């Protein structure tokens, strides 16, 4: 069992998945590590580190520094921070990775020479053909530990991304993993709408709601972020 799957199996049936996005945090004048600390204090356990602004060596340095800071924070919180997109750096840091469709392991998983199988990975999907790719990988025992789908609602973080709410039933039917991640415009208000659907569609699987800018619905002070997290958690409990 991969590091990521071993973590997912111990989580609640419905949980928050906070995406720490550098551009979004910069927009709200708060560091990713500060958001991480606040979320940990409120009981959030699953995170993704995403930096699409930095390039090359600078990006690697920023990423390594962040994970060093995470390692210095109380490990008793048992958090999991997944690295977005960078497979090689994820292996170097010893953390799971989230991959887009263009980076799926049609080759690396078969040889397992880079060690990602023991760490685990999640993968994005947006339509039936992309879900078929995930099914194909799962048939060869190299499928993702979780499958992500969206955007389920219009997303302020990615306003140009197509909305796929009407295809949620298809996603849950085709998802080869027991672990699902829904992303895109998710708020404490519309989570209740999703919960009703998922109770019928997800079966025994677990669903994680990914939130990026939604964490700043009430502002970016510590008190505001804590308030927002509690609003999310209230509708998940």
pLDDT in tens, 150-194: 999 988 777 777 788 889 999 999 998 989 999 999 999 999 889
Q: Whole-number mean pLDDT of the chain?
A: 90
Per the rule left: phi > 0, alpha: psi between -120 and 50, beta: everything else, 141 is left
Residue 3 clears pLDDT 50, i.e. is over it: yes
Region 3-236: CATH code: 3.20.20.70
- Which is higher by pLDDT, 201 or 224? 224
pLDDT of residue 51: 96
Other CB atoms within 10 Å distance of the CB of residue 5? 17
pLDDT exceeds 50 at position 224 = yes
Output the pTM of the full model: 0.94
Residue 222 pLDDT more than 80?
Answer: yes
**pLDDT higher than threshold 50 for residue 110:** no
Beta-bridge partner residues of 123: 99, 147
- pLDDT band for 75, please (50, 70, 90 cuts): low
Which token pair is 175? 């998802």
Whether pLDDT at 113 is above 50: no
Q: For 8-17, 71-80, 194-203, which range has the lowest pLDDT when averaged over its residues?
A: 71-80
- pLDDT recorded at residue 236: 92
Instruction: Find the helix or strand (DSSP H, E) in which 223 lies.
Output: helix 222-236
Which pLDDT belongs to residue 157?
A: 74
Q: How far apart are CA 197 and CA 42, in angstroms?
A: 26
Phi-psi region of 120 (alpha: psi -120 to 50; beta: other; left: phi over 0): left
Residues 194-199, mean pLDDT to the nearest whole number: 88
Residue 121, beta-bridge partner list: 97
């Amino acid at each position: 069992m991969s590091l990521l799957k071993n973590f997912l199996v111990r989580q609640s049936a419905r949980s928050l998945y906070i995406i720490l996005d550098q551009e979004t945090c910069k927009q709200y004048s708060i560091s990713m590590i500060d958001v991480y600390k606040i979320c940990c204090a409120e009981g959030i356990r699953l995170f993704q580190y995403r930096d699409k602004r930095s390039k090359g060596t600078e990006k690697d340095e920023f990423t390594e520094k962040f994970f060093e800071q995470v390692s210095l924070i109380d490990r008793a919180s048992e958090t999991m921070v997944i690295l977005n997109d960078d497979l090689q750096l994820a292996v170097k840091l010893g953390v799971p990775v989230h991959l887009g469709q263009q980076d799926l392991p049609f080759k690396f998983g078969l040889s397992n020479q880079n060690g990602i199988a023991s760490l685990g990975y999640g993968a994005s999907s947006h339509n039936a053909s992309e879900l078929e790719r995930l099914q194909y990988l799962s048939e060869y025992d190299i499928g993702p530990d979780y499958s992500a789908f969206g955007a389920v609602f219009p997303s302020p973080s990615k306003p140009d991304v197509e909305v796929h709410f009407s295809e949620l039933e298809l996603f849950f039917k085709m998802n080869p993993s027991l672990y699902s991640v829904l992303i895109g415009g998710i708020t404490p208000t519309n989570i209740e709408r999703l919960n009703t659907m998922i109770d019928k569609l997800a079966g025994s699987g677990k669903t994680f709601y990914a939130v990026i800018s939604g964490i700043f619905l009430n502002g970016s002070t510590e008190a505001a972020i804590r308030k927002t997290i509690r609003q999310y958690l209230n509708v998940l409990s």
